[in-house]
Chain A
Amino acid sequence: MQPTLLDTISVKSLDNGLKIICLKKSDAPVVAVQVWYKTGSANEHKGIYGLSHMLEHMMFRGSKEVASEEHARKINDIGGHCNAFTAEDITAYTNSVPKDHLAMILDLERDRMVNLTLDPEIFETERNVIIEEYHTYMNNPVAKAFLEFRTVFYQDHPYQVSPLGVIEDISSVTVENLKEYYSKWYAPNNATVVVVGDFKNPEQVFSMVEERFGQFPRQQKLNSTQENKVVPFYEQNRKGVWMKRRVNFDVPIIITGYPAPASGQEDILPLDILQIIISQGESSRLHREVVRKQSLAVMAGGMNHSLKQAGMSMFFAVFTPDMGYKKVEIGLNKQLEIIKDKGISDDEMEKVKNIALTSRTFDMYSAEHICQKIGYAETVDGDYQLWVKKLEALETLKKEQLIDTAKKYWNSTNRHTLYLRPKKMNLLLFVVGFFRRFLPKG
């Protein structure tokens, strides 16, 4: 019998709680190593918003055995690359190197897991870098407006602030704040090491990781405080909010968001499948109906933002200024209602299965990509096996389940809407949009 993909993934947990997941892939002489910490901006509060991201920056700024920025330089010197990202629930460190350098990467990651320097002078320089990053983001008018939308959507929850944080806190966070956070959350029992690539065998990887990380103690405080559970938004009976913002952007946009379940929950798969049907590709409902048949928008789509404690199922339409926003908004929302009322076709079910299978197969070309999928499934969804099992579950998913899921979450009473209106009318776009109305539809 052929081994399944799951059979090729090996897993081990060390006594100190560190989890190691590896997958051997020998079609290119490279290896990807990622360390995923189960902490992010969800563990922040007023006064330290942005701290997780700031610490992520400082993780490249020196540890006991590695000088400031030597981590990145050493990897560059051998032709590899490294990066990191902070999200609401996780902070991940990614490295990809030619296969002979696995030991070096593990050494680098080991040192910064427990021996971070956090030099105050370097921190002040890095704070300036982060402030620059913050300004780059805030100079994007759409991104800036979306932050405000998010604050309203996730009100009273740490998710209301993006992982980038707020400028007041970025400017005032201290080294002491960083140290406290680092010692609490950066610990073997809060981390997963994922290794994918051309290594000898999983036992070799386990032994290399254990040799380097095995002696670090567990962080005892973690168990009692780790998860600040909230009642899911869709069970809270919260009323939707309608917002309009005038922005320095030349094109009007409507964004809608519906409270959605937390990642890893049963309803996530049907909601993701619904999202493909409604918004992915030119044969999707939104493109076919809203863009092509009704010519309401130039572009329309959507995505699910799945986080550990809550989520948002969101949709958008980009349109020309001659088109009244109300018409666009109604057209966008109507497509969701049609799915709830009239269901899904067999062709659409077949399409999503084929898309999911093709997409997963293409993921297999890149060690870094596989690493990322496994790391995400393990630390955000709660189980690395979900990366594989979601595809299997799709085989048995029924159309009725999809319709029930749509009815459960795409509820007009808790829909949040953001209309981004350009500050200045764009005459050319107005004219183009106006005359296009007289072309035949279809």
Chain B
Amino acid sequence: MDFTFPPMKEYDLSNGMHCMLIPDFTHPIVTVTLQIPIGRYLDKPSFEGTAELALGLIQKGTKTYSSEVFSQKIEQSGASLFADLKDECLTLGVRMLKSVSQEIVPLFWDMVCNPALDEKEFARLKKEMLTGLNAEFSDPSVLAGKHFNAALFGAEHPAGRKHSVYTVKNIALQDIKDYYAQYCTAEESTIIVAGAMTEEEMQKEWESLFSSWTKKRSSSPAFSAKDPVLPNNRVRIVDKPELSQTTLLIGHPAIPEMHESRVNLALANFIFGGGNFSSRLMSRIRSKIGKTYGIVSQIVTNKRLGAFTVSTTTQNSHLKEVLFSIFDEYREFCEQGPTNEEVEKAKQFALGNMAFELEGIPNIVEKLLWLRFYGRENSFIEDYSQHLSPITAQSIRDALKEFFKSDHFVIIAVGKQKEIEMILREYGEVTSFKHRENPLKP
């Protein structure tokens, strides 16, 4: 099955921003999405959360309209803003009915180019974020994620330093203003306008608007990072004495997104633990022995690095059996690799699922931004079957041999330490944390 993106027009604006126009008249909707290649990694050490706060604060009013008036104008028209922050890029967008686009798009663009970055709004947002971060101390899966990154990548790499109550409290409004001034510019950014407008309408009405944004960054978006030291079976317990279940997050370093073995490992992951009820982990630990509600593996990647993870929850009394089953299945999978039948099914899933990944304009826009961020051609998706066809059980076995290293596992367990520590000691030296403790403590 091959896929074709809808017709679109692409060009660079005078300020260096790449512009993509996708006319689509299926529904009377217009979506404008801006992607800037800056993200969490640019947060200075001990100031993690700066990008997150900046993204929030940009949406709180412009130099012309206070936050209250701005949100009133957006919501009054039925439009809605959306935003997303990743390690290496951020996205800001607005979706609206075509009938209000004349009013809303200039308002959105005013927000992007001239955010108020107001003191009162900053204080409010910071308080909101600190409250949210405090609430997260009660969420075992969030705690596990923060400890996993800290243990796997360390304090010397931005991937290891997640924002927390310990870092957000250090951030001042000036940090946000500096972040915006330094990094939020048209240079290397991409804007996609999609929906019920002709190319002519889009060009006539908005091209000069989008071209008006500052061109150059005042400094290049670089960050310092030492290569993460490969961990050697580090085990952490985050003590939450009231929990009857243990939340597990287990994993090791993997490859970055653009690595040549990426597709091989994506299929391997589907077979091992990513493929829901078709996966080996789900089949063994949920379907056969009923020791978890869900278990999933993932390969999380960005431009610079990647991680392979397995996550699940199980009652403390089942932890020993679940841990044994995960590692036993992993060892067997790495030694023997997948069967030919499993590989064929994984390929069929990848191809069939593409129809859903491209269902509707919002999904298409997301996929196009993803391609552009990684410098991939649209043909990567359109000819996806060609990327899958050379993959065999043997090529996956080779990739597993090279990149799946069982001696570099990190194991995070959030649960009642008294009941689970002895079991975890079998997997390496255990370091314990109270649930409110900083994951980056030495």
Contact between chains at A358 and B277 (CB < 8 Å): no
Contact between chains at A79 and B134 (CB < 8 Å): no
Question: Scoring B residues 65 to 93 as 1 if CB is less than 8 Å from chain A, else 0, what string do you get?
Answer: 00110011001111110000000000000
Contacts of B135 in A (CB 8 A): 249-251, 318
Question: Scoring B residues 107 to 133 as 1 if CB is less than 8 Å from chain A, else 0, what string do you get?
Answer: 000000000000010011011101100
Contact between chains at A281 and B348 (CB < 8 Å): no
Contact between chains at B71 and A282 (CB < 8 Å): yes
Q: Is B354 an interface residue (CB 8 A)?
A: yes
Taking Cβ atoms with an 8 Å cutoff, the residues of B that contact A are 1, 26-29, 67-68, 71-72, 75-80, 95-97, 100, 120, 123-124, 126-128, 130-131, 134-135, 137-140, 165, 169, 242-245, 275-278, 283, 286-293, 313-315, 345, 348-356, 358-363
Contact between chains at B243 and A139 (CB < 8 Å): yes
Question: Scoring A residues 343 to 386 as 1 if CB is less than 8 Å from chain B, else 0, what string do you get?
Answer: 00001001101111111011011110000000000000000000
Contacts of A129 in B (CB 8 A): 286, 290, 292-293
- 5 closest pairs, A vs B, by CB? A79-B352, A354-B78, A365-B360, A128-B290, A358-B78
Contact between chains at A136 and B293 (CB < 8 Å): yes
How distant is the Cα of A367 from the Cα of B243 in the complex, in angstroms?
39
Contacts of A28 in B (CB 8 A): 355-356, 358-360
Question: Scoring A residues 420 to 442 as 1 if CB is less than 8 Å from chain B, else 0, what string do you get?
Answer: 00000010110011001001101
Q: Is A292 an interface residue (CB 8 A)?
A: yes
Nearest CB of chain A from residue B357's CB, rounded to whole Å: 10
Contact between chains at B277 and A69 (CB < 8 Å): yes
Contact between chains at A362 and B349 (CB < 8 Å): no
Contact between chains at B97 and A125 (CB < 8 Å): no
Contacts of A353 in B (CB 8 A): 78
| Given A98-B1, A136-B293, A351-B78; A365-B362 close (CB under 8 Å) | yes
How distant is the Cα of A98 from the Cα of B360 in the complex, in angstroms?
14
Contacts of B355 in A (CB 8 A): 28-30, 79, 98-99
How distant is the Cα of A72 from the Cα of B294 in the complex, in angstroms?
14
Give A120-138 interface residues, CB cut-off 8 Å to B: 124-133, 135-136, 138
Closest to B314 in A: A132
Contacts of B126 in A (CB 8 A): 432
How distant is the Cα of A280 from the Cα of B74 in the complex, in angstroms?
13
Contacts of B75 in A (CB 8 A): 280-283, 351, 355
Contact between chains at A78 and B127 (CB < 8 Å): no
Contacts of A235 in B (CB 8 A): none
Q: Is A80 an interface residue (CB 8 A)?
A: yes
Closest to B352 in A: A79
Contacts of B363 in A (CB 8 A): 365
Contact between chains at A428 and B165 (CB < 8 Å): yes
Contact between chains at A429 and B131 (CB < 8 Å): yes
Closest to A320 in B: B131
From A78, A130, A292, A436, B349 is in contact (CB under 8 Å) with: A78
Q: Is A413 an interface residue (CB 8 A)?
A: no
Q: Is A96 an interface residue (CB 8 A)?
A: yes
How distant is the Cα of A366 from the Cα of B289 in the complex, in angstroms?
36
How distant is the Cα of A140 from the Cα of B414 in the complex, in angstroms?
13
Contact between chains at A251 and B131 (CB < 8 Å): yes
Contact between chains at A428 and B78 (CB < 8 Å): no
Q: Is A173 an interface residue (CB 8 A)?
A: no
Contact between chains at A436 and B314 (CB < 8 Å): no
Closest to B288 in A: A125
Closest to B286 in A: A129
Q: Is A335 an interface residue (CB 8 A)?
A: no
Contacts of A77 in B (CB 8 A): 278, 345, 348-349
Closest to A250 in B: B134
Contacts of B72 in A (CB 8 A): 283, 347
Q: Is A81 an interface residue (CB 8 A)?
A: yes
How distant is the Cα of A136 from the Cα of B242 in the complex, in angstroms?
12
Contact between chains at B290 and A283 (CB < 8 Å): no
Q: Is A68 an interface residue (CB 8 A)?
A: yes
Q: Is A73 an interface residue (CB 8 A)?
A: yes
Contact between chains at A132 and B292 (CB < 8 Å): yes
Contact between chains at B67 and A282 (CB < 8 Å): yes
Contact between chains at A79 and B290 (CB < 8 Å): no
Nearest CB of chain A from residue B399's CB, rounded to whole Å: 22
Contact between chains at A365 and B27 (CB < 8 Å): yes
Nearest CB of chain B from residue A108's CB, rounded to whole Å: 13
Contact between chains at A366 and B130 (CB < 8 Å): no
Contact between chains at B68 and A288 (CB < 8 Å): yes
Nearest CB of chain B from residue A76's CB, rounded to whole Å: 4
Q: Is A394 an interface residue (CB 8 A)?
A: no
Contacts of A356 in B (CB 8 A): 78
From B95, B134, B290, B350, A362 is in contact (CB under 8 Å) with: B95
Nearest CB of chain A from residue B2's CB, rounded to whole Å: 11
Nearest CB of chain A from residue B353's CB, rounded to whole Å: 4
| Given A129-B286, A354-B76, A364-B27; A27-B360 close (CB under 8 Å) | yes
| Given A299-B131, A366-B359; A355-B78 close (CB under 8 Å) | yes
